[in-house]
Structure 1
């Protein structure tokens, strides 16, 4: 599987860009999966539902299935968060995995950047960033700058990078 990341500071447009890229790339007939890193606690389950009750009772894993989808939830119960490589090994094969977050991991990335955040460009210090997708035209970068709203150009850049 080919892997490419979208990174950036909070409110830089990462999730919106990911959504647009998935639509653009799958629209070209390629298969895409995504991995999203959350820095906070999250829950995909709801208190009172059977699957939630199973987890609260102490189940290590709960698999919930219907005719439309299935989800496997694994409780860490104090164990270390698995590294990205271990999580990727659990995915079904696809043409491309887009990863949101994981800014410290060493896979290639596009940095989403909005000037309104006031945050510095990560690309100035991180050689895993191969391009910046920005709403401005930052100067002095060693990587290409793409318009943040030009999904097609960003998708073409990523697909060329991974050889698709």
Structure 2
């Protein structure tokens, strides 16, 4: 498996880019998985469902399965957040894993930047950023593509993705 990240400030367009990039890559025959980091509490379960009741009752893990999908929810219950490499170990093998977030981790990344956010560029301070997808030309000499140029960003992702050490 190979790994590439999308890093940028909130509101830069990472999720929108990812939603366009995944079909472009899968249309080329690649199997894609994603890992998304959330900086806040989130819930994939719904109150009133049996799985939610199991979690609230104290289960450490709850696996829900049907004929169409399965999901494993793990409650950390005060344990430290697992590192990216530990999370990657839970994925089935695919051609490419795209990581949204985990900005401080050392995996190769494409910076997603939107000038209207008024936020600083990440790449001058992060040597793991290998390329930029932005609505304005970036400073420096990193390869870059326009935010709406999905084929160019896809090519950058494939070029700069690295094998993950798992």
Smaller-chain TM-score bracket: over 0.9
Q: Distance in 2 between matches of 1:17 and 1:118?
A: 19
Per the alignment, residue 108 of structure 2 pairs with 108
1:8-157 aligned at under 5 Å gives the runs 8-139=8-139, 141-157=140-156
Alpha-carbon shift at residue 134 of structure 1 (Å)? 0.6
- Structure 2: give runs of 5+ residues left out of the alignment: none
Q: Which 4+ residue blocks in structure 1 deviate beyond 4 angstroms?
A: none
RMSD: 1.3
TM-superposed CA distance for 1:143, in Å, is 0.8
Distance 1:156 1:162 in 2: 10
Contact 2:7–2:109 (8 Å) recurs in 1: yes
Residues 13-53 of structure 1: CA deviation (Å, up to 9, x unaligned): 00011111111101100100000000000000011110000
**Following TM superposition, by how much is the alpha carbon of 1:3 offset from its aligned partner in structure 2, in angstroms?**
0.4
- Counterparts of 2:64 and 2:148, CA distance in 1: 37
Tell me the matched-pair count: 163
Compute the TM-score of the two structures, normalised by the length of structure 1: 0.96
Separation of aligned partners in 1, 2:126 and 2:56: 41
For 1:124 and 1:145, locate their aligned partners in 2 and report how far apart those are by CA, in whole Å.
14
Where structure 1 has 5 or more consecutive residues not aligned to the other structure, the ranges are: none
Cα distance between partner residues in 1 of 2:161 and 2:84:
18
Q: Give the TM-score normalised by the residue count of structure 2.
A: 0.95
